[in-house]
Amino acid sequence: MDAQNKEVDALVQKITGLHAAIAKLPSLSPSPDVDALFTDLVTACVPPSPVDVTKLGSEAQEMREGLIRLCSEAEGKLEAHYSDMLAAFDNPLDHLGMFPYYSNYINLSKLEYELLARYVPGGIAPARVAFIGSGPLPFSSYVLAARHLPDAMFDNYDLCSAANDRASKLFRADKDVGARMSFHTADVADLTGELAAYDVVFLAALVGMAAEDKAKVIAHLGAHMADGAALVVRSAHGARGFLYPIVDPQDIGRGGFEVLAVCHPDDDVVNSVIIAHKSKDVHANERPNGRGGQYARGAVPVVSPPCRFGEMVADVTHKREEFTNAEVAF
């Protein structure tokens, strides 16, 4: 136990130092300094760790919340930068590999599709899909539409109109996927009747960054999605909770869903994935003490792919070099 405590303390100290350095940056727009610090941060957070970030002290919790917000801002600026770069091409979709982390989206979307196909009752063949928090580079929607759900229509929602404008430009030359993509500027809290039309709703990791905000979003989805519709929630696990919010499956259950599977990858897919579906009888099976929402009938399967951390570190280093050497105007 002492060894674990020392490991956790050392990690928190390292992350605290990186947070301080990132907070002092004059800008979070892409640059060699920004890229180097965030690469160090990701490399520190992805290995398996005994840390439970939800149980850290108040000072560490405050640091973590601030760090997640900085990560969100930096991620938004990075995606906007590359979205503008890609939009300069006649067919932007032919050049998506320019984005240093495009392969991560390929792997995450593949994982999400496979979990949906495996655990959603009756399989998955959606006609309409919503992605909440799609951003200026809607890679997840694109990969799902192009590789896994070729018959589905995708509605992408984001709070930022500029992000939607950027995203829509990427599909202007594509007659297949582009015809199945639409972009809407809206707060998820304002979506009501629209949500009932979707067979699957994806909730991006950074929609609702505080735990209580995330729980409110999930409860809103539960109030308006159709019975039987699937929900895919991106979360985090272990030290990766310094990068993204952690979603408690209990909050998903309390929101009116039945949790079907929880996956904590330990490779280059940083986000955890929770698969659930809207169940009309979910509250009828609520636990007697009133504290916990509904999980799946029986034990919830927790799926962890084989660890590829060594390969991932090499890949991150390679991507860092690619980014540094890219001919971009900072």
**Residue 296, amino acid:** A
pLDDT in tens, 40-56: 999 999 999 999 999 99
Q: Residues 206, 60: one domain? A: no
Give percent helix, percent strand, percent coil of the chain, each to the nearest 5.
50, 15, 35
Backbone angles phi, psi at 253, to 5 degrees: -65, -45
- Specify the residue for token string 């500027």: 185
Same domain, 80 and 141: no
- The share of the chain scoring above pLDDT 90, in percent, equals 78
The predicted model scores a pTM of 0.86
Q: What is the pLDDT of residue 277?
A: 96
CA dist., res. 270 & res. 237, Å (int)? 9
Q: Determine how many CB atoms are found less than 10 A away from the CB of residue 289.
A: 6
Tens-digit pLDDT profile for residues 279-316:
876 544 444 333 344 454 445 667 655 333 334 434 44
User: Which parts of the chain have pLDDT scores under 70?
Assistant: 1, 281-301, 303-330
Question: Within this chain, do residues 88 and 138 fall inside the same structural domain, yes or no?
Answer: no
Burial of 297 (0-12, 13-18, 19+ CB in 10 A): exposed
| Domain identity same for 71 and 154 | no
Quick one: 154 and 109 in the same domain? yes
Which SS3 state, helix, strand or coil, does residue 148 take? Answer: helix
Structural element, H or E, at residue 202:
strand 200-203
Flag whether 305 is in a domain: no
* Domain assignment of residue 33, given as a range: 1-93
Residue-averaged pLDDT of the chain = 87
Predicted local distance difference test score (pLDDT) of residue 318: 47
181: left (phi over 0), alpha (psi -120 to 50) or beta: beta
Using DSSP bridges, classify how beta strands 200-203 and 128-132 pair: parallel, antiparallel or unpaired. Answer: parallel
**Among residues 263, 278, 159, 254, which one has the least CA distance to residue 209?**
159
* pLDDT recorded at residue 309: 36
